[in-house]
Amino acid sequence: MAKDPIYKSDDGTRIAPLSALNDFEVAEGYPDIRGWRVASTDGQEVGKVHDLLIDVDQMRTRYLDVRLTKELAASPGDRDVLVPIGTAQVVDGKDVVRVPLTAERIGLLPVYEHHGLSRTHELEVRRHFSLGEAAAAAAAGTAATTAARDFYDDEGYDDRRFFGKRRPRGADEEAAARRVDAERAEAARVDAARDAEVRRDAEVRRDATERAVERETREARDDEIRVPVERDDAVVLKRGDDGRDEIIIRRPGGERRA
């Protein structure tokens, strides 16, 4: 099967397979999905990504060239079909591409012959995926006059949708993410420093309180006068003639002492 040349339609669109473009390659940060398994919505493996069809002027991927399994192709040779890039999606954590059609419907897609791409063929593909107004326009036979840029102005041809969460971030997004990370780290540092300061203040207040209590207890003990008393002695507190308190100790049956 001969390689596709760069296809140029009457409206000026230039589409070519990535494998035929020596000066083109998959952008840095994006995986090269050629060779990845392709699955249908009913969970069947329907083929593998054989190639990518590129809008040469816009430098955007427009189609996945999917080579069907022998069982689904139901033909002795290879059978390829086209899937608009924005309709499919990478399965998270797996080198698998999911197409939003059942295996049976994928088998009904028009065969991609690798010797050019007509707008009629593209319209037939769009009809299967019900993209925008193209399906109705194609049925009415009026879509042939659609301008090239308008033709691909549909989410079904937006390659940024294809990678979903796995889409690499651009320079502006990376810078914004770094700023957010830095702001979060600084906020965490400030919170930690504030918490540490609160704990230090609490410890200082607790230590000061404990020292004050200890000091008051010690002072109270210094103001006391303790007199050893025998078990049988009687102790009486009496105010003397001079107004001063005096302690009177009496032993039962004995004399008093002070």
What does the pLDDT look like over 76-110, one tens digit per residue? 889 999 999 999 999 887 899 999 999 999 999 99
pLDDT at residue 207 is higher than 70: yes
pLDDT at 37: 96
Q: Among 51-55, 124-128, 154-158, 165-169, which stretch is predicted with the lowest mean pLDDT? A: 165-169
Query: Is the Cβ–Cβ distance between 199 and 192 less than 8 Å?
Result: no
- Cα separation of the two ends of the chain: 129
The CA–CA distances, whole Å, from 135 to 102, 108, 144, 236 equal 19, 16, 12, 116
Question: Could you write out the DSSP letters of every residue in 86-126?
Answer: GG-EEPTTSSEEE-SS-HHHHTTSPEE-SS---HHHHHHHH
The residue with greater pLDDT, 122 or 185, is 122
Residues 6+ apart with CB under 8 A from 187: none
Average pLDDT of the segment spanning 196-220: 81
* pLDDT class of 188 with cuts at 50, 70, 90: confident
Query: Is the Cβ–Cβ distance between 50 and 34 less than 8 Å?
Result: yes
pLDDT at 10: 62
The residue with greater pLDDT, 127 or 176, is 127
* Closest to 15 measured CA to CA, from 68, 80, 59: 59
pLDDT at 139: 47
What whole-number distance in Å separates Cα of residue 65 and Cα of residue 82? 5
78, HSE (Cβ side, Cα atoms, 13 Å)? 14
Q: Mention the CATH class of domain 7-168.
A: alpha beta
pLDDT at 135: 45
Mean pLDDT in the chain? 78
88, HSE (Cβ side, Cα atoms, 13 Å)? 28
Pair of tokens at residue 150: 């308008």
Query: Is the Cβ–Cβ distance between 119 and 107 less than 8 Å?
Result: no
pLDDT at residue 144 is higher than 60: no
What whole-number distance in Å separates Cα of residue 127 and Cα of residue 156? 12
What whole-number distance in Å separates Cα of residue 172 and Cα of residue 123? 36
* pLDDT class of 30 with cuts at 50, 70, 90: confident
Average pLDDT of the segment spanning 225-249: 61
* pLDDT class of 119 with cuts at 50, 70, 90: confident
pLDDT at residue 149 is higher than 80: no
